[in-house]
Amino acid sequence: MDDTVRVLVVDDEQPVRVTLKEVLSREGYDVLTASAAGKLYR
């Protein structure tokens, strides 16, 4: 069983997404990012 927690970061500002992904990844999270909620459905 995979105990890795998956986190979704949605923000319209790319630097915010990049920073959060880097920090959370270092903490062991599997991070997905999107610039808008609508992009999640594509």
Evaluate whether residue 1 is within a structural domain: no
Whole-angstrom CA distances from 17 to 1, 2, 42 are: 28, 24, 19
Secondary structure of residue 5 in the 3-state scheme: coil
Supply the pLDDT for residue 2.
Answer: 76
Q: Give the predicted TM-score (pTM) of the model.
A: 0.81
pLDDT for the residue numbered 37:
77
pLDDT of res. 31: 97
User: Count of domains in the chain?
Assistant: 1
Containing structural domain, residue 17: 6-41
What pLDDT score does 1 carry?
63
* Ordered DSSP codes for 14-35: HHHHHHHHHHHHHTT-EEEEES
Task: Please report, in tens digits, the pLDDT of each residue of the chain (42 residues total).
Answer: 678 999 999 999 999 999 999 999 999 999 999 998 776 665
- Is residue 31, in this structure, part of any structural domain at all? yes
Domain assignment present for residue 30? The answer is yes
Tokens encoding 32: 């997905």
Assigned domain for 28 exists: yes
Q: Distance from CA of residue 31 to its chain's centroid?
A: 4
Is 22 a domain residue? yes
Question: 3-state class of 13 per DSSP?
Answer: coil
